[in-house]
Amino acid sequence: MEKISRKVKTVLEILDDEIRGDIDSALKKMTRDYTMTWVYVGKRELFPATKIVKKEMQAVYPVRGRKYDIKNIAEGNNVVMVELVESYPDTKIKKVYRTPMVLVLEFSGNKIKTGRHYCDPRLSYLHLSTKQIKKIFK
């Protein structure tokens, strides 16, 4: 079994923090000037980004039932890339959102400094089945 680097551990831990809704623990893994950019066309702009992380985390972290199915992790000098499927239930309509995505997280020291979130958000609204998702990862 390969040894997991400190940076990969940090990425896995921050994903777990999100699943548990633990904003404070997640913030400890980020630099003060952390930014996230979504690499897609947003509602108002191309490549929306945020610097007000805690405010956005307060909207996202309370989602219960979120899961991350990690498919691949790659690491380079001060960067970790994760290919995964994010799933979470929509309790109102009793369906599950499943979105394949890639996260690229750059580090400064042992903290995450910036990230890029690559996905097609239109896929989430399709309520993809696990069978459909499996077609990606043959």
18-62 pLDDT per residue, tens: 898 888 999 999 999 999 988 887 778 888 778 766 767 776 666
Average per-residue pLDDT in the chain?
Answer: 88
Query: Tokens 């020291």 identify what position?
Result: 109
Helix (H, G, I), strand (E, B) or coil at 88: strand
How far is residue 10's CA from residue 112's CA, in Å, rounded to a whole number? 8
Taken in order of first residue, the domains within the chain and their CATH numbers are 6-134 (3.10.450.50)
Q: Which two tokens stand for residue 52?
A: 């007000």
Assessment of whether the complete model's pTM goes beyond 0.85: yes
* Confidence at residue 2, expressed as pLDDT on a 0 to 100 scale: 73
Dihedrals phi, psi of 61, to nearest 5 degrees: -65, -25
Among residues 2, 114, 119, 98, the alpha carbon closest in space to that of 51 is found at: 114
Among residues 125, 124, 117, the alpha carbon closest in space to that of 101 is found at: 117
* Confidence at residue 41, expressed as pLDDT on a 0 to 100 scale: 79
The Cβ-side half-sphere exposure at 58, using a 13 Å CA radius, reads 4
Q: Are 80 and 74 in contact (CB under 8 A)?
A: yes
